[in-house]
Structure 1
Amino acid sequence: MNIGRRLIAPTAVAGATALSLATLSACSADGSGSVSSGGKLKVTASFYPMQYLAEQIGGSHVSVTELTKPGVEPHDLELTPRQTATLGESDVIVYLKGLQPAVDDAIAQSGVRNTADAASLTSLEKHGTEVDGHSHTTGDNNTGSTGEVAGADPHIWLDPVKYAQVAKGVEKTLAKADPNHADTYAKNLNALVKKLDALNTEFRDGLKNRTSDTFITTHAAFGYLAERYGLVEEAISGIDPETEPSAARIKALHTLAQQKNVSTVFFETLVSDKTAKTLAGDLGVRTDVLDPIEGITAKSKGSDYVEVQQSNLKALQKALGAK
C-alpha cells in the first residue's frame, strides 16, 4: 500500500461537493443578479457602438465580447457556431434589433434573460427620399420608381442624444444583472452622458454658421445626425450599404449637387469607395471620409466613438462651409 495516499471520509467528500456547488452557483449568472466566474459580468455586444456603451458603463466589472470583429461590415455579419455558443453563455447581451438578422435569431434562441435592445431604448424613425431629388434625409433604396422609399433606420448611435438614451437603458440592464455594482454603473453612466452631452454641444455650435445644409454620403447612415442639427443627408444608396443605386438616383444627385452647391461626396471606411469617387469625379467635387462608426480599425480617424465623431464634425464643417 502507498502510504502517501490518504483516505478521505465520506462526510468530507460531501462537504467539499456542497461547497463547490455553492461556489459555482455564486459565480454563474442565473438571471437574478449573480455574476460570472472571475467576478466579472460576461457581456456580449453585437457590434462596436454597443461594445463602447458596455465598456464605458461596465468599466472594470465587465468582460465584453464583440460579435462583429473590427473591419467587418455589421450588416453582413453571419455568426459561427462558436459565436452562437458564446452568445448563450453571456450574462448580458447588448444589441440593436433589426440591424443584424443573424444576431437577432441567435439571441432569440440563446435563453439569456438580461438583454438590452438599443432599438427599444429610444425612438426609431423612417427615413426616405423622393427619387427626383426633392428629398428628406436618406437615399434611394429601390430601383428608381416614383414615390417615397422609407424604412426603419437603425443608425441611432450617430445622434449623440439618442445614443445617450440608449446608454441609460444599457446601464439598467447591467445593474439588474449585477446589483452589487449598480452604484458604479450609475456613476459610469453619468460620466458617459456628460461626454455625449458635450459632443452634442460641439456639433450644435460647430455647425451653426454654415453656408450649406446638404451633404452626400455613400449610404444612408446619417439621417438621425442630420435631423438633430438641421442638415440634409443625400445618400447614394439606402439604409443597406450594399444596395446598388438606381440610374434615377444618380441622375437626381447630379441635379441636386448643382442646385445645393455640394462640395463633397463622403465615403466610409468599411465599404467600397468606388461609387462615391466616381460620382465625385463626375461632379467635379472632392471626397472625404464620414465614418458611420460601425467598427474601429486602423483606418478610423480616432480611437473611440467620441474621437471619430469629432473627426466627423470637422469633415462636415469643411464640407458645409461652417466657421
Structure 2
Amino acid sequence: MLLTLTLLVFLLLAACGPKSSGSIVEGKVNVITTFYPIYEFASEIGGEDIHAINLLPVGVEPHDWTPRSQDIINTSKAQLFLYNGAGLEGWVPNFLKSLDAGSEAKAVEVSKGVDYIMTDEEDGHDHGGEGEGEGEAEGHTESLHTDPHTWVSPKSALIMAENIKESLQSVDPAHKDGYEERYNKLAERLRALDSKFAAELAKLPNHEIVVSHQAFAYLARDYGLTQHAIMGLSADAEPRSQDLLKLAELVKKEGIRYIFFEELVSDKLAKTLAGEAGVSTMVLNPVEGLTEAQEKNGDNYFTLMEKNLQNLILALQ
C-alpha cells in the first residue's frame, strides 16, 4: 500500500505543470535539450538519426523554469543531454546528480568556446555554482556573472552548433558523416545570417537600443550596437524607479524612437518607459522559446532572427 501511494504521488508530481515535448524512443539516439535554440540546432544536425526532446514547454521563458520528475526519467534513459551552460540553467548540477545511477547520458555544455561576456549585473536566480566569474578581477570586489544569452548572436550560435555536432558524433559515430553534412548546411545558413546582420546594421546611423531584458549583449558586441536594459539578466528582475527615469532621459537625449520588448515576458515595463519617454514599442526576440502562435506558424531561429533584423533596421534609421 505504501508503495502504491508513493507511486501515485510520483505520478501526480510528474503530471504537474506544462509538459516537455515527447518521450524516449527505443532504437534511436535520444537527445534531451534544455530550451528551444539547442533543440532546433540538434534536430537540424541530427535529422532522422536522432529523437530530440526539448524540456522547456512552448510559451515558457527559461530563466526560472525547473525540470519535473518525468524529465529526470527521460534524461536518465537518453544518450545525450545538451544544455546551454554559462549560468542559464542553474538547476543543471542537481538535475544531473538526480539521474539514475546506471544512466549513460552524456552531458554537454554547448556554449563552451564562446567568448563569454562578464557582467556585475545581478541576474536574480541561483547558478548552482555554474557560470560564476573568477571574482575580483581588475579591482572589482563584487562577483561577476557570465551573461548566458550566447545564442542571440549568429556568431556564437555557430560555435554552439559545432559543439552539438561533435557531441552527436561522439555518442553515435556510426552516423558521423550524416551529422557532418547536416551541420555544414546549418553552418552555411548561420554564416549567411551573420553576414546579413553585419552588413545591414553597419549601414544604419544609430546604434543605441533600449530593451526590456538584458539579453542582447552578444548581439550588441558582435554587430556594433549598445544595449540599455530596463531589467537585468533575468527577465523578471525588478528595475528601480531611478533606473527607469535615467533610461527615459537617455531615450530623449539620444532620440531613440522605440523601446524593445519580448513576447515571453510581460511588456508592462517597456510600455511604461515608452509612455514616459513619448516613444513606441517593438519586439526584439531573444529566441529563448516559441510562443504557441509562432510554433503554429512554423517559425524558427532563422525566421525570428530575420524579424529581429528588420525591426532593428526600422528602429535605428
Normalising by structure 2, what TM-score?
Answer: 0.80
Contact 1:45 1:93 (C-alpha < 8 Å) held by counterparts: yes
Q: Does 1:42 align with 2:30?
A: yes
Q: How do 1:1-323 and structure 2 match up within 5 A?
A: 38-97=26-85, 98-110=87-99, 111-127=103-119, 151-300=145-294, 303-321=299-317
Distance 2:120 2:306 in 1: 26
Distance 1:58 1:104 in 2: 25
Gap change, CA 1:319 and 1:243, over 3 Å in 2:
same
Question: How far is 1:150 from its partner?
Answer: 5.2
Identity, % of aligned positions: 32
Contact 1:51 1:64 (C-alpha < 8 Å) held by counterparts: yes
Q: Secondary structure at the match of 1:120?
A: coil
Distance 1:262 1:209 in 2: 17
Specify the code of the residue in structure 1 equivalent to 2:81: I
Gap change, CA 1:99 and 1:311, over 3 Å in 2:
same
- Consecutive unaligned residues in structure 1, runs of 5 or more: 1-35, 130-146
Question: How far is 1:195 from its partner?
Answer: 0.3
Distance 1:213 1:149 in 2: 29
Question: How far is 1:108 from its partner?
Answer: 3.9
Contact 1:54 1:64 (C-alpha < 8 Å) held by counterparts: yes
Q: Secondary structure at the match of 1:266?
A: strand
Specify the code of the residue in structure 2 equivalent to 1:99: L
Q: Secondary structure at the match of 2:286?
A: coil
Deviations along 1:47-90, one digit per CA (max 9) or x if unpaired, are 00110111011011110001000111111112111111111111
Specify the code of the residue in structure 1 equivalent to 2:95: A
Distance 2:199 2:111 in 1: 28
- What corresponds to 1:141 in structure 2? none
**RMSD of aligned C-alpha atoms?**
1.9
- Select between 242-251 and 306-315 the one with higher mean Cα deviation: 242-251
Contact 1:42 1:91 (C-alpha < 8 Å) held by counterparts: yes
Contact 1:302 1:311 (C-alpha < 8 Å) held by counterparts: no
Bigger Cα Rg: 1
Distance 1:156 1:312 in 2: 16
Gap change, CA 1:320 and 1:299, over 3 Å in 2:
farther
Deviations along 1:273-318, one digit per CA (max 9) or x if unpaired, are 0010111011110101111111112444861000100000000000
Specify the code of the residue in structure 1 equivalent to 2:228: E
Q: Secondary structure at the match of 1:244?
A: coil
Deviations along 1:180-227, one digit per CA (max 9) or x if unpaired, are 000000111111110000000111111122121101111000000001
Question: How far is 1:127 from its partner?
Answer: 3.6
Number of aligned residue pairs: give it. Answer: 269
Gap change, CA 1:123 and 1:233, over 3 Å in 2:
same
Contact 1:212 1:260 (C-alpha < 8 Å) held by counterparts: no
Specify the code of the residue in structure 2 equivalent to 1:101: G
- What corresponds to 1:14 in structure 2? none
Question: How far is 1:126 from its partner?
Answer: 1.1
Specify the code of the residue in structure 2 equivalent to 1:100: E
Distance 1:65 1:256 in 2: 43
Normalising by structure 1, what TM-score?
Answer: 0.79
Contact 1:212 1:261 (C-alpha < 8 Å) held by counterparts: no
Contact 2:59 2:264 (C-alpha < 8 Å) held by counterparts: yes
